[in-house]
């Protein structure tokens, strides 16, 4: 499967498309990104500033409202008020003067939001703008607001609607508006500054609501008024306690610690901008909230236009690219596909050039190149087969002289000792040994013949080393028909004898076994109880078997000649996944495992490379 990234960077057509796209779109995208960021920043800052200005204006309106209303508190200094509240008797003239003062102040300040002005002394005797003279049925000091003012007589207390006096008020009046803000303070003697009563001005809270509506005009989001702890007092257009769109004010009340500011808060509907400012007179917080996505909606519209422009540019660029490349790159693509088929091994591919341009010359050169490659490959295959045959014959020839030298040495030694019968037996075994070795020029023989071959070898060697050599051969009959490269076991057995058992004190034993392996393989094991070898020598021998050359200046170790010879022959014939594995422990012995593929049912003559 082709790698998509490799295809993208190797295709001429894709490169041309990338060039078109980069030349067309990169400047457009760069300008679009800069424009979007600039517009986003400008719109965001403008919206924040407008929100902050609206909150500041709301705070100023509320401050002006309470400043204008607080002027009515000057009535506490009126002589008639002081006499009326201090006196325990009915004073009709003073009450009349007080009501006239109420009317005068109203005409002077023209504050339409004031619903009523009430005064009451500590004994429950009072006068109001609406009801005139009245008397409370209970001690006024039971009112918690009056109790607070007794302890702080110089303060002006502003009571929001949810904390205001009951609807019947001091004088029993009822108002059309249910939301009332009360402004209270104490009335004190001029000289002793002793508290003699209280003045209460009731304001219509709808006036504050109208200020909030004015602040919301032209803005997305909502405004509300909260106390210093973040508790909502006035809101219009939404319920501050509804948490489905905005978080409760208590969730970010700890961030309202400064006089004014703004921040972004996570809400149920997404990130939102919170802007606030603080009223100087009341300490209330004017809080504005709006979802960021609503504030920067115009910036999102600009982003959509940018994306649309980029998309249309891409469509136009691709269309222009297809038109141009279909005329220029199609012949190159055809040649590329033909070359890819040739690279995969299909050398019958041909290119049919059209025209007389450079691409047609390139196609003719490609056809000529394919013909040359086919000729060179056929020649290379023939030469490789000949080299393989020559190498295999050479490796086998290396073994026979080596063994013959050892065998003749044994015959000479026995003849000198006058052991005629043993010499005859040895020569017979040697004759059978070489008959199998020659095998009429075959490279493969059966496992049974190879076992018989090594048995003759052991017979020869046991006659020479009868006092130190025992052997055992255990190869199941069903495995003896499997083809095997001849002269495989004998060099390994010879190596076990000369480098393992011969140097051991006492009698040694060589055991040859066979068993089927996994994935249709045959395992032949040659084990001995000789002297074994050290870990360093074993590691060096394993490196040699894996075709790692010895260090410079060192030749192959004598103990590894036979093993290395067999390993090279097996891998040359069967492949690198087959061959010899060796394991040894010093003072215990050595085990050599031979693994070859099973070629069951294959005639031996047909299994020889090159039809031998």
Which positions ≥6 away from 481 have C-beta within 8 Å?
Answer: 446, 447, 448, 600
Torsion of CA 150, 156, 161, 163, to 10 degrees: -20
457-502 pLDDT per residue, tens: 888 788 777 788 899 999 999 999 999 988 889 889 988 988 889 8
Residues 547, 269: Cα–Cα separation, whole Å = 71
Q: What is residue 396's predicted lDDT score, i.e. its pLDDT?
A: 55
The domain boundary, picked from 173, 208, 243, lies at: 208
**Whether the Cβ atoms of residue 480 and residue 464 lie closer than 8 Å to each other:** no
DSSP per position, 403-416 = HHHHHHHHHHHHHH
Instruction: Please tell me the total count of domains within the chain.
Output: 2
Q: Classify residue 19: in a domain, yes or no.
A: no
Q: What is residue 604's predicted lDDT score, i.e. its pLDDT?
A: 38
Q: What is residue 294's predicted lDDT score, i.e. its pLDDT?
A: 75
By DSSP bridging, strand 232-235 and strand 260-267 are unpaired
Residues 207, 211: Cα–Cα separation, whole Å = 6
Residues 166, 150: Cα–Cα separation, whole Å = 20
Q: What is the CA radius of gyration of the chain?
A: 56
Taking the model in full, what pTM does it have? 0.45
Tokens at residue 36, please? Answer: 């979007």
By DSSP bridging, strand 285-291 and strand 270-278 are antiparallel
Q: Classify residue 602: in a domain, yes or no.
A: yes
Residues 89, 477: Cα–Cα separation, whole Å = 142
Q: What is residue 482's predicted lDDT score, i.e. its pLDDT?
A: 92
- Domain of 142: which CATH number? 3.30.450.20
Torsion of CA 231, 236, 242, 244, to 10 degrees: -130
Q: What is residue 137's predicted lDDT score, i.e. its pLDDT?
A: 81
Instruction: Identify the domain containing residue 469 by its residue range.
Output: 383-611
Q: Tell me how many degrees the CA angle 460-464-466 measures, rounded to the nearest 5.
A: 100
Q: What is residue 603's predicted lDDT score, i.e. its pLDDT?
A: 40
Q: Classify residue 103: in a domain, yes or no.
A: yes
Among residues 96, 103, 133, the alpha carbon closest in space to that of 118 is found at: 133
**Residue 218 dihedral angles phi and psi, to the nearest 5°:** 85, 5
**Whether the Cβ atoms of residue 104 and residue 216 lie closer than 8 Å to each other:** no
**Whether the Cβ atoms of residue 199 and residue 118 lie closer than 8 Å to each other:** yes
The domain boundary, picked from 180, 208, 236, lies at: 208
Residues 414, 522: Cα–Cα separation, whole Å = 38
Among residues 114, 315, 141, the alpha carbon closest in space to that of 201 is found at: 114
DSSP per position, 243-282 = TTTS--GGGSGGG--SSEEEEEEEETTEEEEEEEEE-TTT
**Whether the Cβ atoms of residue 232 and residue 224 lie closer than 8 Å to each other:** yes
**Residue 578 dihedral angles phi and psi, to the nearest 5°:** -115, 170
Handedness of CA 539, 545, 546, 552 (dihedral sign): positive
Instruction: Mark the ranges of the chain whose per-residue pLDDT is less than 70.
Output: 1-13, 17, 20, 88-91, 162-178, 218, 237-250, 324-329, 354-355, 357-359, 383-403, 406, 436-441, 548-561, 600-612
Q: Classify residue 68: in a domain, yes or no.
A: no
Q: Classify residue 318: in a domain, yes or no.
A: no
Residues 303, 268: Cα–Cα separation, whole Å = 25
**Whether the Cβ atoms of residue 469 and residue 462 lie closer than 8 Å to each other:** yes
Q: Classify residue 363: in a domain, yes or no.
A: no
**Whether the Cβ atoms of residue 291 and residue 270 lie closer than 8 Å to each other:** yes
Q: What is residue 483's predicted lDDT score, i.e. its pLDDT?
A: 92
Q: Classify residue 415: in a domain, yes or no.
A: yes
How many helices and strands (H and E) does the chain possess?
15, 18
The domain boundary, picked from 168, 184, 208, lies at: 208
Tokens at residue 62, please? Answer: 């509320």
Q: Classify residue 246: in a domain, yes or no.
A: no
Residues 259, 56: Cα–Cα separation, whole Å = 11
Residues 181, 189: Cα–Cα separation, whole Å = 27
- Domain of 398: which CATH number? 3.30.565.10
By DSSP bridging, strand 125-128 and strand 114-121 are antiparallel
Bridge partners for 473 per DSSP: 512
Say how far residue 224 (Cα) sits from the centre of its chain: 44
Instruction: Give the number of other Cβ atoms within 10 Å of residue 202's Cβ.
Output: 28
Match 């009451």 to its residue by tokens: 120
């Amino acid at each position: 499967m082709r790698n998509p990234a490799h295809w993208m960077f190797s295709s001429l057509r894709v490169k041309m498309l990338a060039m078109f796209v980069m030349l067309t779109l990169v400047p457009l995208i760069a300008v679009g990104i800069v424009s979007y960021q600039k517009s986003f920043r400008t719109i965001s800052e403008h919206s924040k500033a407008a929100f902050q200005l609206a909150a500041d204006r709301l705070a100023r309106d509320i401050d002006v409202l309470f400043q204008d209303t607080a002027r009515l508190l000057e009535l506490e200094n009126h002589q008639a008020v002081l006499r009326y509240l201090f006196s325990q008797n009915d004073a009709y003239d003073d009450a009349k003067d007080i009501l006239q003062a109420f009317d005068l102040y109203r005409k002077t300040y023209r504050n339409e939001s004031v619903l009523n002005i009430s005064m009451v002394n500590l004994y429950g005797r009072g006068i109001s703008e609406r009801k005139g003279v009245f008397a409370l049925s209970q001690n006024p000091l039971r009112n918690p607001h009056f109790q607070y003012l007794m302890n702080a007589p110089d303060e002006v207390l502003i009571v929001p609607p949810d904390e205001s006096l009951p609807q019947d008020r001091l004088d029993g009046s009822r108002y059309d508006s249910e939301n009332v803000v009360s402004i209270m303070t104490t009335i004190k003697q001029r000289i002793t500054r002793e508290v003699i009563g209280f003045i209460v001005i009731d304001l219509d809270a709808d006036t504050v609501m109208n200020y909030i509506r004015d602040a919301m005009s032209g803005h997305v989001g909502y405004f509300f008024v909260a106390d210093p702890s973040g508790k909502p007092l006035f809101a219009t257009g939404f319920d501050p306690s509804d948490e489905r769109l905005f978080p409760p004010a208590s969730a970010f009340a700890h961030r309202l610690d400064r006089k004014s500011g703004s921040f972004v808060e996570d809400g149920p509907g997404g990130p939102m901008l919170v802007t606030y400012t603080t009223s100087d007179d009341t300490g209330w917080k004017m809080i504005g909230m709006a979802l960021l996505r609503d504030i920067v909606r115009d910036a999102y519209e600009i982003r959509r236009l940018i994306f649309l422009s980029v998309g249309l540019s891409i469509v136009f660029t691709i269309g222009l690219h297809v038109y141009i490349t279909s005329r220029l790159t199609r012949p190159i693509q055809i040649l590329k596909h033909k070359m890819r088929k040739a690279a995969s091994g299909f050398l019958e591919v041909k290119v049919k050039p059209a025209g007389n341009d450079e691409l047609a010359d390139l196609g003719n050169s490609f056809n000529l190149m394919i013909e040359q490659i086919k000729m060179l490959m056929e020649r290379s295959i023939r030469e490789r087969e000949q080299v393989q045959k020559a190498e295999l014959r050479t490796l086998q020839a290396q073994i026979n002289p080596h063994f013959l030298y050892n065998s003749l040495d044994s015959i000479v030694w026995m003849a000198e000792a006058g052991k005629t019968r043993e010499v005859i037996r040895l020569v017979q075994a040697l004759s059978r040994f070489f008959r199998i070795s020659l095998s009429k020029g075959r490279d493969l023989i059966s496992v049974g013949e190879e076992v018989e071959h090594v048995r003759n070898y052991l017979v020869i060697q046991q006659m020479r080393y009868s006092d130190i050599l025992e052997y055992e051969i255990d190869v199941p009959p069903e495995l003896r028909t499997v083809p095997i490269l001849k002269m495989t076991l004998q060099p390994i057995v010879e190596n076990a004898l000369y480098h393992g058992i011969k140097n051991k004190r006492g009698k040694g034993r060589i055991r040859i076994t066979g068993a089927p392996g996994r994935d249709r393989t045959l395992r032949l094991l040659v084990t001995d109880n000789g002297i074994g070898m050290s870990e360093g020598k074993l590691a060096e021998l394993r490196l040699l078997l894996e075709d790692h050359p010895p260090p410079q200046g060192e030749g192959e170790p004598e103990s590894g000649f036979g093993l290395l010879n067999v390993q090279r022959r097996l891998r040359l014939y069967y492949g690198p996944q087959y061959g010899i594995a060796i394991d040894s422990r010093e003072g215990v012995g050595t085990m050599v495992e031979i693994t070859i593929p099973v070629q069951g049912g294959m005639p031996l003559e047909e299994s020889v490379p090159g039809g031998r």
